[in-house]
Amino acid sequence: MAVNLSAPVTAELHPVAGIELGWAEAQIRKPKRKDVLLVAIAEGSSVAGVFTSNRFAAAPVQLCRAHLAAGVGIRALVINTGCANAGTGEPGIGAAQTTCVAVAEQLGCGPVQVLPFSTGVIMEPLPVERLVAGLPQAKSRLAPAHWAEAAEAIMTTDTLPKAASTRIELGGVSTTITGISKGAGMIEPNMATMLGFIATDAGVAPALLPRLTKRVADASFNRITIDGDTSTNDSFVVIATGKNGAPQIESLNDPRLETLTAAITAVAQQLAQAIVRDGEGATKFITIRVEDAANPEEALKVGYAVAHSPLVKTAFFASDPNLGRILAAVGNSGIADLDAGRVQLWLDEVWVARDGGRHPDYREEDGQRVMKQAEIAVRIALGRGEASETVWTTDLSHEYVTINADYRS
């Protein structure tokens, strides 16, 4: 059951000029479900991506990196669910290449202009013949209005499709940003695979888009965690088609760059938080903010230590204000010279711990009240400096175990 999340409404997903989306039911793993998505991108668009840090990067991720590095202009994305094509060695690379060749033939571009993405079970061969056989169907459905169906086509254990869209004024020109995401477990950004795709009709020079993409990811998809596992297939891609009628952003000094980055970040945060809200077995949406850290790295260390602690997560599931577990996780985060006596802890507005121990005014009923909420903010101050970071996560429930124990059946 997702936490405060509802399916996107087609009417609220603005088409992005230069982007068309079509899907197929290719029976990659199961019959009668959308499991292949084709995204056609207008010539002249800029495309950039960030990918998993997992050393077992899937075959499609390896091809994405190579094709982006080739720099000849990306014209299509192809995404399949049902099989991750990871841990598949050389045959896996071959299957991903075959996919790109087939897409290129359909759309009349080069294979190196196609980015492939896969999500599903690891270490099983990709049924590439069925994928390729589904491509004409996907092509026949290509249309700018198909964002909602696209969000549906990339779902795996997701209970709801995830999409977000906004329109902003950029240098006086109306500009659209629309994106989709999927992922429910193995999120840090993570497995069952986190995928995120955002398109804008703003124009951004190819040289500038990778930096923008990294900044957006670091403020959104790279700040969510469900179970601490990082997928072999995680990918986040930003496409800038340049079809909004305004001149392309070509310099770091163009004031539109900050405006656009902020707007794309807002859409990315919505998509990333939707993944957490729909996290496997999630019953709570937890925001963990770490303040007064010596630097952003240690703020993140503490945030993730708390977000990953199974004991903290089960306490959230139980609505049990067993909040000493949060202090223990902070102490366990690997900051060798942390002075526990300076640590403060709040749960929403309730001051739980002061100077490393329970606040004298803290009452369990106050903690209990906040723990019962569906959305909870944990704030931890380390008393070491000026840096702060925010991480979003969920609780750990029976349903999480059920889903992951039954995933392949």
Residues forming contacts to a second copy in the complex (CB under 8 A) are: 53-57, 84, 86-92, 121-124, 185-186, 191, 227-232, 308-311, 314-315, 317-318, 320, 322-325, 327-332, 335-336, 338-341, 343, 353, 355-358, 396-398, 400-402, 404-409
**Minimum CB separation from a second copy for residue 350, in Å?**
14
Residue whose CB is less far from a second copy, 227 or 291: 227
- CA–CA distance, 340 with 391 (Å, rounded to integer): 21
**193 a catalytic residue:** yes
Kind and range of the H or E run holding 131: helix 128-140
Question: Are the C-beta atoms of 307 and 395 separated by less than 8 Å?
Answer: no
Cα dihedral sign, 259-261-267-269 = negative
Residue whose CB is less far from a second copy, 277 or 384: 384
**Minimum CB separation from a second copy for residue 338, in Å?**
4
Kind and range of the H or E run holding 346: strand 344-347
Residue whose CB is less far from a second copy, 111 or 321: 321
Residue whose CB is less far from a second copy, 2 or 396: 396
In the block, tokens 């399916």 appear at 7
Omega of the bond leading into 31 within 30 degrees of 0 (cis): no
192: CB partners within 8 A, 6+ apart: 119, 156, 157, 183, 184, 185, 186, 231, 280, 407
**Minimum CB separation from a second copy for residue 19, in Å?**
31
- Please pick, among 193, 230, 283, 287, the residue that the annotation labels catalytic: 193
Residue whose CB is less far from a second copy, 98 or 137: 98
Cα dihedral sign, 70-18-7-133 = negative
- CA–CA distance, 187 with 221 (Å, rounded to integer): 9
- CA–CA distance, 156 with 240 (Å, rounded to integer): 27
**Minimum CB separation from a second copy for residue 284, in Å?**
12
**Minimum CB separation from a second copy for residue 185, in Å?**
7
Q: Catalytic residue positions? A: 193
